[in-house]
Each structure stands twice: as C-alpha cells, then as structure tokens.
Structure 1
Amino acid sequence: MKKVKEASGQIYLYLAWVVATVATLGSLYFSEIRGFIPCELCWYQRILMYPMALILGISTFQNDSSGKKFALPMAVIGWCISLYHYLIQKVPGFAEIKPCVNGVPCNAQYINWFGFVTIPFLALTAFSLIILLLTLLSMKQRKQK
C-alpha cells in the first residue's frame, strides 16, 4: 500500500518534467525552426528551464523526488524573470525601466496569440505549472510522513 501512495505522488514529478520538456522543445522550435532570435531575458529563462528538463527527467526515471530541491528554486527565479519580461511587453511603463541593449529588444513580440499570449507568457505558464506541481509533490510527501 505504501508503494502505491509513493507512486501517486510521482505523477506530479512526471508532469513537471513533461512541462519542462515541452517548454524546452518549444523554445528550440521558436529559435531554430521559426528563426526567432532570443532577447537577453529569453536567454535567462532558457538558462533556468533547460536544466530543469534534465533534473526533473532524471528524478522521474530514477523515482527519486530529491531533484525538486534544485528545480523549485530555479522555477521560482524563472517565474520572476518571465513575469518581468511579460510586463515589459504588455505594460508601457515597464519598458522604460531597463530596455535590452544587445540584439533583439525585450519588448519585441514575435507572437501575440489572442492579444495576450506571447513567448514570455508561455514561459510564465510553464514555470507556474512546474511550481504548482512540485509544491503539490512536497505537500503529498509531507502528508505521507
């Protein structure tokens, strides 16, 4: 019975890995296939998302949730960067705080689906889901103890 309870908590870890992997592949699609050049803030988000796909993947397939202690702080930092990036794109007052000066400006919107879905919004969504799933995993593990 204990193994069933442990396995049911692992679904959160698995789903967090799936989200990180889809986000990683999505960013590679936008840059390598669609040809969108990432801005400075996009690079910071990638620096945090790509390793999470590996960390959470290894944790998932080894059935070891200890990877969450590395992935959760990375997701929180990535969430903050994504939120700031999204605000730069959508709120005119934020764009003046610190504009990107190297290459592509951070307020450029390669996509704008439905008037609000931009690449930073997609990253923000992915980081939010990872935070939620890893928090649910932590809560489930605390209840099992």
Structure 2
Amino acid sequence: MTGSDSAASGHDRWLYLFIAWIVAVAASLSALFIGEVVGQAPCSLCWHQRAFMFPLAILLAVASYRGDAGAWRYGLPLAVIGMAIAGFHSLLYAGFIPEGIQPCSQGPSCASADMTILGMLPLPYLSLAAFLAIAVALIGSRPKAAS
C-alpha cells in the first residue's frame, strides 16, 4: 500500500463523517423550524428523537473538525437508538402499532395527520431516514481493518 492509498482512505473516512454531520444538522434545524417557526408542537416520540439527533449534530461537528476516526464508536449508538425510536414512531404512524400501546397520552398525537410536512412527507419516516443515513455514514467512516 502506498502513502497516497492511505491518505485517500483517511479522506474517505472524513467525508463519511462530514456527511453524517450534515444530515444531523439538517435534521436538527428542520425539527427546530417545524416546531418554532411553523408552530407545530412535537409529539412525545418526536421529543425523544430530538434527544438523540441534537447531540449528534454537535458531536459529529467536533469529530469532523478534529478528523476523529473513532467518532463512529460514540455516534453510532446514538444513531441506532434514535433509529429505533423513529422506527417505532413510523410503525405507529403507519397503524401497525395497536392503540393500547401508543405512548401519546398528552399533547399532539404521534400518529395524526399533523405529523407531515408539505402535506405528504410523514415526519416519522423522515426522521427514520435521517438516523439511517447517519448510521450508514458512520459505519462507512470506520477505519478499514489491516489486511
């Protein structure tokens, strides 16, 4: 392996990390826009998803700036837990979760028609896609094993 191969590999890892950060920032700013500008109150599950997305935006910014090859170790668990919550929320929104175990007892419904943007894009699905994209990018950012 030449030095240029090693440098390209490091650049690719940084690029994946940077992409994960961009997705986390876009998702965080979108959530803030929907809540604060549009005025749509987040449901209980949306709050839980925010609790995992907002820290990712900060952690991945620092990791990208520092070129931290180990960022996947602390970013991936946040993304996977957020993805699990978003997956549950998506199943609830789609009607696959019975009403008896829905977590929303106060505030906006987690499965209401208000959980869309532009009248057709369900927020739970967008959140799931964002967490999935971050997880995939973080997996791509892992250093390659020595062969």
Using structure 1 for the length normalisation, give the TM-score. Answer: 0.89
> Could you list the runs of 5+ residues in structure 2 that have no partner in the other structure?
none
Displacement of 1:144 after TM fit? Answer: 5.4
**Structure 1 Cα separation of the partners of residues 117 and 61 of structure 2:** 30
2:113 equivalent to 1:98: no
In 2, are the aligned partners of 1:17 and 1:52 still within 8 Å (CA)?
yes
* 33 and 4 in structure 1: CA distance in 2 versus 1, 3 angstrom threshold: same
Greater per-residue helix proportion? 1
Of 45, 48, 53, which residue of structure 2 is paired with 1:44?
A: 48
2:17 equivalent to 1:13: yes
The residue type paired with residue 75 of structure 1 is: A
**Structure 2 Cα separation of the partners of residues 42 and 85 of structure 1:** 8
Give the structure 2 partner of residue 4 of structure 1. Answer: 8
Give the structure 2 partner of residue 74 of structure 1. Answer: 78
Displacement of 1:65 after TM fit? Answer: 2.5
2:30 equivalent to 1:26: yes
In 2, are the aligned partners of 1:41 and 1:106 still within 8 Å (CA)?
yes
**Structure 2 Cα separation of the partners of residues 93 and 23 of structure 1:** 25
Matched residue count:
142
Structure 1 segments, 4+ long, off by >6 Å, are none
SS in structure 2 of the partner of residue 65 of structure 1: coil
SS in structure 2 of the partner of residue 49 of structure 1: helix
**Structure 1 Cα separation of the partners of residues 146 and 36 of structure 2:** 44
SS in structure 2 of the partner of residue 77 of structure 1: helix
Using structure 2 for the length normalisation, give the TM-score. Answer: 0.88
Computed over aligned residues only, the root mean square deviation of the Cα atoms, in angstroms, reads 1.8
* 83 and 22 in structure 1: CA distance in 2 versus 1, 3 angstrom threshold: same
Could you tell me the percent identity over the aligned residues?
31
**Structure 1 Cα separation of the partners of residues 7 and 62 of structure 2:** 20
Mean CA deviation greater in 106-115 or 127-136: 106-115
